[in-house]
Structures are given as structure tokens and as C-alpha cells.
Amino acid sequence: MKGSQITPGAPWRVELTDDDCRRLTAGDAPVGWLTLKAPAQASGISQQTVVNKLNTGELEGIRVQAGARTAWRIRVDSIGYDRQQTLFD
């Protein structure tokens, strides 16, 4: 990122490159991989349980850069929620 001000105290003008946008939006994640919240809701378990399963290797996930922090992206195929029966068919 590159920023500039016309005069001291003026608003900053920040120029974002494509690489900056990708880094800020967690664009490193492969297509079809979900955030931590989505698999937890889809499979009916807590986010902490998803993290525990990631740490034990039961689920496949990667850490991606999302701005100044890192975030999980979880592979949908490793969850198995699409194979579960629904309560109300």
C-alpha cells in the first residue's frame, strides 16, 4: 500500500494494488473453502469444536492472511455435512 497527503492534516489517499486487495480479503484461500463460521453452522457444531477438529486433523483447513490477522479456511469436502440427513425432509 502506498499513501499520501496533499498537506499535513488532510485526508490520506491510499492506493491499493491487486496484491493488497487479495491480502486484505483473504484471497489466498482456495475456491470452495469456507470461513470458520460457515462449516460450524452448516454442521450444527460450535466454532470451537471446528477448531478442535482442525487441530486434531479431523478436518482439513489452512490459515490465510486477512488484513493484519490470520483466519481459518476449511475445505468443504472434509466436513461431510452434505452427507448428513436433514431433520425435516
Q: What is the reported pLDDT for 48? A: 92
CA distance 70 to 26: 8
Residue with the bigger pLDDT between 58 and 79: it is 58
In a domain, 22, yes or no: no
Q: pLDDT-derived band of residue 78, with 50, 70 and 90 as boundaries?
A: low
pLDDT (average), residues 62-85: 69
In a domain, 2, yes or no: no
Q: For 5-51, how does the pLDDT look when each residue is reduced to its tens digit (9 = 90+)?
A: 888 888 988 888 877 766 656 566 667 778 888 888 877 889 899 88
In a domain, 8, yes or no: no
Domains: count for the chain:
1
Report the b/e string of 14-36 with b at 16+ CB within 10 A. eeeeeeeeebeebeebeeebbbb
In a domain, 89, yes or no: no
In a domain, 65, yes or no: yes
Q: Is the pLDDT of residue 70 over 60?
A: yes
In a domain, 24, yes or no: no
Residue 47 is part of which domain span? 34-79
Q: CA 22 → CA 17, 26, 67, distances in Å? A: 9, 6, 9
